[in-house]
Structure 1
Amino acid sequence: MRILVTGGTGYLGSAAASQAAAAGHDVMGVSRSAAVRLDVAELAECRRVVAQVAPDVVIHTAYGQDDWRTTAEGAAHVAIAAGESGAHLVHVSSDAVFSGQAPAYDESAIPDPVNRYGAAKAAAEVAVRAVLPAATIVRTSLILGPDSFMERLVHNLAGGADGVLFADDIRCPVHRDDLAAAVLELAAERPAGMFHCGGPDAISRADIGRLIARRDGLAFDRIRIGSRASFGPGQQLDLRLDSRHTQGLLRTRLRGAREFL
């Protein structure tokens, strides 16, 4: 299978590209900083690169945290280019499309974002489904693993850096390698629709930090614990991604944070 991975130098994209290559697939990872450059915010670039690579599957992981053009418009551009080339699209989305007001969110839940990033990811989903109804959309949660943002943050805070871990910010973390394997499994099967790939443990950022500190021998008592709710209304506090349906379809097991940490 020939696979094109956008965001191929990113945290998830690089893992997906590496696993795909190890499995014997013909893989090309592209990004703004890769050897083969692609800025997904530019439709013409998307069309040119996808047409040149002629992939069987495009795995779209590229996004910009505060960049609407990359996150929202970029997804539409990748979907258009994939459709024109006849490639199947696996689009990686986020639990950030939800407000955190519901007890949990399964694949049928309607997005209700409360911040710009969540709105951009929700718009990206709408664009992908409109352009390519047969696309596979994968929503995920906080991605952990070696050198992840969260692990680096905990090490820095334990070392005296300024910052806080929230005790009321609940997510369903997933290990990067598990998520990459699940994405590749879905890419091979090419199911249409929405699939949730979060871990089974709903856990706060503070408790994640405690687990990392215990594993790595860090001074957790040096880390300041706070409340995201103290920042006022509109905060995403409890994002429980219900992934049981998708996990039942996968051979890949998505481990919980309490297991892999």
Structure 2
Amino acid sequence: MTELAVRTTPIPGLLVIDLPVHGDARGWFKENWQRQKMVSAGLPDLGPVQNNISFNQAVGVTRGIHAEPWDKYISVATGRVFGAWVDLREGPSFGTAYWQEITPEVAIYVPRGVGNAFQTLEAPAAYTYLVNDHWSEVAQAQYTFLDLADGTAAIPWPIPLDQAELSAKDAAHPRLAEVTPVPPRRTLVVGANGQLGRALAARWADRSDVDLVGRELVDIADPDSVDAVDFSRYGTIVNAAAHTAVDAAETPEGRRAAWAVNVTGVGRLVEAARAQRAVLVHVSSDYVFDGTAPLHDETEPPSPLGVYGQTKAAGDQLVATLPDHYIVRTSWVIGEGANFVDTMAGLARRGVDPSVVDDQIGRLTFTEDLAAGIDHLLAARPAPGTYNLTNEGEPLSWARIAAEVFSLTGHDPSRITPVPTAEFYAAQGTAEGDGTVAPRPRSSVLDLAAIEATGFTPRPMDEALAAHLRS
């Protein structure tokens, strides 16, 4: 009896699966699709939603070559067929062909964009296939076709095509030179008008496969807005949208808004990514922790103090249910737009001597580095999960950072007055947790070992700060 095994082919992603078949005088039995065993053996998690059977009554029936906008898992229940596949995807393997007989002991995993065809060698043949998207007329309009007799693919059909039975439509498909390659699925960035969205736009400015949409086009808090998006076009979704008004989230209206975006809206993106088997990149926050640990790693359970942190922690849990996801946890984000560094620089220029809290410790994260880290994760594709990402360097208090800003802009850093958080808010007649001010974690220092182990090291914070102020 054959052992379960997954074998590669010259076409990237096209896999041959050897299936154990148990038989005796009564007949045979096989586990045609067994998710746990097959994924463990190296097969992608297909996630089938539809099971189709093509029953072929006569030897010589030939069908194809069709490249479809979904992945397929092919096998036969009875009979024997000759299968042929041609890579019709854009890229260096375009036009690569592979063929093999399929019997009950063999299955084939066909990734989207790879043209598929078969010819019946032993009839009747029940050719079965699982697919991970539902057929529709809209989906069929996205098929890409190739002539069965294309000379470049040079498929050695066991039964010559002039003696085979095929439809007039299949016989009229274009030759390879006339085929428009299937493009890779695109990347969608939601929240493109925010600080991170702008940094991603700059990072990916030379890419033609990225769609950046602001809230005016896709508002994840609005179900109708999300439902209007055709997510089938996207293999990657980057969620740069968030409700980040930390103090406003403590108010009744702000609490509802924070949950609508950071939890319910994130849930909509999670389900869209799940339906399309897309990778979802989601940005998390140091506010998911209470700040009592001096250093936070990715294994620390959430312990949020305020509403904003609670909504971010809840959104993270939703994203973590996806098999293919990256939660990028960051802190103290600085980018294009209103931010702490630019505020301090403005105060220095105007002659204002501010009091700044000195008992909250962390590292800045410049959006250029955050965007670079996201780009790295999507290119390197390490194990899915959570990765902390801030700038490198010695953790500092807000007061120390403010003093650095004053110094780097040519002003006296002693103009900064360090004060405890409680005193800072007391001077304004407020207090953390009073319904107008969110409680802050005292330590926001994130352990960077995991992302650095993937090959990405962010810039030192002092270097990034100086570069930001120069620009």
TM-score, normalisation: structure 1: 0.88
Q: Judge conservation of contact 2:403–2:416 (CA < 8 Å) in 1.
A: no
Matched, 1:243 2:448: yes
Residue aligning to 2:13: none
Cα deviation, residue 225, structure 1: 2.9
The partner residue of 2:199 within 15, 24, 38 is 15
Cα deviation, residue 86, structure 1: 2.8
Q: Judge conservation of contact 1:173–1:256 (CA < 8 Å) in 2.
A: no
Residue aligning to 1:256: 460
Matched, 1:152 2:351: no
Q: Judge conservation of contact 1:41–1:73 (CA < 8 Å) in 2.
A: yes
Rounded Cα–Cα distance in structure 1 between residues aligned with 2:315 and 2:414: 40
- Where 1:89 maps in the other structure, the secondary structure is strand
Unaligned runs of at least 5 residues, structure 1 = none
Matched, 1:199 2:404: no
When the two structures are aligned, how many residues end up with a matched partner? 254
Residue aligning to 2:187: 3
- Where 1:29 maps in the other structure, the secondary structure is strand
- Between Structure 1 and Structure 2, which shows a larger proportion of strand residues? 2
Rounded Cα–Cα distance in structure 1 between residues aligned with 2:291 and 2:192: 30
Q: What stretches of structure 1 move > 3 A for 4+ residues in a row?
A: 145-148, 160-164, 218-224, 229-235
Rounded Cα–Cα distance in structure 1 between residues aligned with 2:455 and 2:230: 28
- Where 1:106 maps in the other structure, the secondary structure is coil
Cα deviation, residue 161, structure 1: 5.6
Matched, 1:58 2:242: no
Residue aligning to 1:78: 269
Rounded Cα–Cα distance in structure 2 between residues aligned with 1:146 and 1:232: 28
Shift in CA distance, 77/227, structure 1 to aligned 2, threshold 3 Å: same
Cα deviation, residue 179, structure 1: 1.1
Shift in CA distance, 62/145, structure 1 to aligned 2, threshold 3 Å: closer
Cα deviation, residue 148, structure 1: 5.2
Rounded Cα–Cα distance in structure 2 between residues aligned with 1:103 and 1:50: 44
Rounded Cα–Cα distance in structure 2 between residues aligned with 1:86 and 1:50: 14
- Where 1:96 maps in the other structure, the secondary structure is helix
Percent identity over the alignment is 31
Q: Which amino acid aligns with 1:87?
A: A
Cα deviation, residue 44, structure 1: 3.4
TM-score, normalisation: structure 2: 0.50
Residue aligning to 1:175: 366
Q: Which amino acid aligns with 1:62?
A: A
Cα deviation, residue 138, structure 1: 0.7
Cα deviation, residue 32, structure 1: 1.6
Residue aligning to 2:35: none
Shift in CA distance, 240/152, structure 1 to aligned 2, threshold 3 Å: same
Residue aligning to 1:123: 314
Matched, 1:41 2:221: yes
Cα deviation, residue 50, structure 1: 4.4
Deviates further, 24-33 or 59-68: 24-33
Rounded Cα–Cα distance in structure 2 between residues aligned with 1:129 and 1:212: 37
Q: Judge conservation of contact 2:190–2:238 (CA < 8 Å) in 1.
A: yes
Unaligned runs of at least 5 residues, structure 2 = 1-183, 250-257, 424-430, 434-438, 466-471
The partner residue of 1:88 within 279, 283, 288 is 279
Cα deviation, residue 118, structure 1: 0.6
Rounded Cα–Cα distance in structure 1 between residues aligned with 2:420 and 2:230: 44
Cα deviation, residue 184, structure 1: 1.2
Rounded Cα–Cα distance in structure 1 between residues aligned with 2:413 and 2:230: 46
Q: Which amino acid aligns with 1:13?
A: G
Q: Which amino acid aligns with 1:64?
A: H
Task: Answer with 1 or 2: which has the greater Rg.
Answer: 2
Residue aligning to 2:403: 210
- Where 2:392 maps in the other structure, the secondary structure is coil
Q: Which amino acid aligns with 1:152?
A: D
Residue aligning to 1:30: 213
Rounded Cα–Cα distance in structure 2 between residues aligned with 1:224 and 1:95: 25
Cα deviation, residue 160, structure 1: 4.9
Matched, 1:185 2:365: no
Rounded Cα–Cα distance in structure 2 between residues aligned with 1:69 and 1:219: 44
Rounded Cα–Cα distance in structure 2 between residues aligned with 1:213 and 1:50: 48
Q: CA RMSD in A?
A: 2.2
